Amino acid sequence: MANYDDCRFLNLSVRMAAKQATVWAGETWQIGIRLAVKSSPVLDYDDGRVELPAFSVQDAAVSRQTTEFDIEQGFTGRGSLAWNITDADQDNIANVTQDWLASIAARTANYYVLDTIRLYPTGKDGKSRTAPSVYWPRTTAGNPSGLKMLPPDVALAVSWQTATRGPKGRGRVYLGAPSATDSDDGGRIAQAQAQAVASASADWLEAIRGIGGLTSQACFTPIIWHRVGDRAGVEDGTYGSVIRQVRVNNHYDTQRRRDRQVPPTWSTADLT
């Protein structure tokens, strides 16, 4: 069983899949966020740019089940440190993520369902060190419930803000399949609905920060990772910035690749 002592963050991925009985069958979208892992306490909101502590995991080929999920566990914490990631930590991250999806369910259309939640232990090069832990939902709690859908290339951008200045202090994810009923008469996102997504997303990140917390346990901080290959040539993938604010504006964004997965149906009219 291999050990990996050079992990720098967990990559948390949420994958959604269009229902097979819908016109968008086969289309998928996903979002992700990175989590710094360290002993208690969590990183402070004002920390800005920080060096990410290394942590250790080991392979685990385990199939297990909770009330909410069927789990194919790819890794477990390794006790080379005074603290390490427990199976319960992984479960709790998946649970609060599903809770977040439930809280914004009406904001995305019910053409989609939650496919999986995945956790990847990742090195400073941005590559997973071993197989992920994959959470397959046993309940419908995380499924979208909006009744009408905008085109699949339309997305709701949720932006992350940190205390770090410049591009390294900002990030975003794109929520797919926004509910058409959240639009105002001018084709923008109704302000109340944008605020609801921002508040729910902040609650999600705070819930992640609340996992663990004892001195002998790992704790988790949502971050923006500073990628390898920085233009200034000073980053090596070991740094990140602590997310301290969530923003959602009232303009829709686009992800053109999302509607290319399903061929269009053409309507034609011949000239006579």
Q: What is the DSSP string of 105-117?
A: GGGBBTTEEEEEE
200: amino acid identity, one letter: A
Distance (Å, whole) CA 169 – CA 223:
9
- What percentage of the chain exceeds 90 in pLDDT? 71
Angle value at C-alpha 70, between 99 and 258, nearest 5 degrees? 65
Contact 114, 94 (CB under 8 A): no
Beta strands in the chain (DSSP E): 3-18, 28-39, 49-51, 55-65, 69-77, 112-123, 133-137, 154-162, 170-176, 218-225, 239-247, 253-254
263: amino acid identity, one letter: P
What's the domain range around 145? 3-259
- Residue 265 within any structural domain of the chain: no
Average pLDDT over residues 109-122: 96
Q: Is the pLDDT score of 24 beyond 60?
A: yes
- Residue 13 within any structural domain of the chain: yes
Average pLDDT over residues 162-189: 90
Q: What is the pLDDT of residue 260?
A: 60
Greater pLDDT, 2 or 79: 2
Average pLDDT over residues 3-17: 95
Distance (Å, whole) CA 173 – CA 207:
18
Q: Is the pLDDT score of 80 beyond 80?
A: no
What value does the mean pLDDT of the chain take?
Answer: 90
| 3-class DSSP assignment, residue 43 | coil
Q: What is the pLDDT of residue 261?
A: 63
Least confident of 50-59, 81-90, 232-241: 232-241
Q: Which residue has the tokens 């998946």?
A: 94
Q: Which two tokens stand for residue 153?
A: 């290339």
- Residue 114 within any structural domain of the chain: yes
- Residue 269 within any structural domain of the chain: no
Q: Which residue has the tokens 């900002």?
A: 170
- Residue 169 within any structural domain of the chain: yes
Distance (Å, whole) CA 215 – CA 63:
29
Secondary structure letter of residue 185 according to DSSP? T
**Tens-place pLDDT, residues 54-78:** 999 999 999 999 999 999 999 999 8
Number of domains in the chain: 1
Distance (Å, whole) CA 35 – CA 122:
10
- Residue 159 within any structural domain of the chain: yes
> pTM of the prediction?
0.92
- Residue 212 within any structural domain of the chain: yes
Q: What are phi and psi of 201, to 5 degrees?
A: -70, -40
Q: Is the pLDDT score of 232 beyond 60?
A: no
- Residue 79 within any structural domain of the chain: yes
Bond preceding residue 41 cis, omega within 30 of 0: yes
Q: How many residues does the chain have?
A: 272
